[in-house]
Amino acid sequence: MKKYIKLMRVHHYIKNGLIFAPLIFSGSLFNTELFFKSLLGFVAFSLIASTVYIINDIQDVELDRRHPTKCKRPLAANLISLNNAKILAVSLILIAVIINVYAADNSPLSWASLILYLILNIAYSNGLKNYPIIDVAILVSGFVLRVLYGAGITGIEISSWLYLTVIAMSFYMGLGKRRNELIKQKNVSRKVLKYYNQGFLDKNMYMSLALTIAFYSLWTVDPITIARLSNDYLVWTVPLVILICMKYSLNIEGDSDGDPVEVIIKDKVLMGMVALFVLITLGIIYIG
C-alpha cells in the first residue's frame, strides 16, 4: 500500500489547499454546506492530480531511472508494474468524477477546471513539457485552475488581485524548479532544460516574485477587500509575506531540487512562517 501512496504523491495534496482559497477569503469558511462541498472537491481534485502524476511517471519511467532521486519512484524502481499503474489511474478518474458530481452539482466552471487540468497535464506528459515557456505555463495553470475550481464549486467570486498573486507566485515557483533542475541535472532528466539558461531563469524568477508581492499588496489595500472585511488590517501581513518569500528564495538558492512542496515541507522554519501567516490572516478575516 505504501508504494501506491508514494506513486499517487499524496504529500503533494498540500497544493490542493488552494481550492479552499475562495471559501476562506470570502469569510465563508464556517458555512457548513460550502465547506463540505470544498472538502469533496479537494478529494476529487486530489485524485485527478494523482492520476496526472501516475501518467507522467509512466511516460518518464526510463528518464526517471537515470535520475539520482527520481529513480526511487515506484515505477522507476520496478516496485509497481506499468499495467497496475494504468489500472489505478483509470480507477482514480472514475472515483473523482463520481465525487465531483456531488461536489460541483451542475457548476460549469468546476467541471471545466477539472477537465482542463486533466487534459493540459496529459498533453504536458505527452510532449508539451519539452517546449520552453509552455512547460512552465502549464505548471502555473495547475495552480490557477485549483482556485477556479474552488470558486466554481462554492459559487464564490474571488478578487482578480488574488488570481494575479497566484499566477505570479506560480511562475516564480515553476521557474525556480527549472532553475535548480538545470543546475543539478543539466538536460539529463528533462529535454526542455537545453533551451534554458540560469541567467534567463533567475531574471524571470525574481520578476515574478516582485509581482507576487505587488499583487498581494494591492489586494490587501483594495477598497473592495477592505469593505468585505470591514477592516484594513490585512496590509500588515505584507511584511510577513515578504519574509516568507525571502526564506523560500534562500532555500531555492541552496541545495534544493526546487520542487515547491519539497522546499516547504523540508523546512520547519518556513512551515512555521506559513502557519503564522495563515493564523494571522484567519484572525483578521474572521475576528478582526
Domain locations in the chain?
1-129, 159-288
pLDDT at 97: 94
User: How far is Cα 187 from Cα 192, in angstroms, rounded to an integer?
Assistant: 7
Q: Cβ contacts of residue 129 below 8 Å, gap of 6+?
A: 135, 138, 190, 192
| Residue among 32, 47, 13, 45 nearest 154 (CA) | 32
| Span 111-148, pLDDT tens digits | 999 999 999 999 998 889 999 999 999 999 999 999 99
| Span 61-99, pLDDT tens digits | 877 777 777 777 888 887 888 888 899 999 999 999 999
pLDDT at 78: 79
| Side chain identity, residue 281 | T
User: How far is Cα 131 from Cα 124, in angstroms, rounded to an integer?
Assistant: 9
| Residue among 70, 2, 17 nearest 264 (CA) | 17
User: How far is Cα 109 from Cα 39, in angstroms, rounded to an integer?
Assistant: 17
pTM: 0.91
User: How far is Cα 7 from Cα 60, in angstroms, rounded to an integer?
Assistant: 13
SS (H, E, C) 193-257: HHHCCHHHHHHHHHHHHHHHHHHHHHHHCCHHHHHHHCCCHHHHHHHHHHHHHHHHHHHHCCCCC
CATH of region 1-129, choose from 1.10.1060, 3.40.50, 1.10.357, 1.10.3470: 1.10.357
| Span 182-215, pLDDT tens digits | 887 766 667 899 899 999 999 999 999 999 999 9
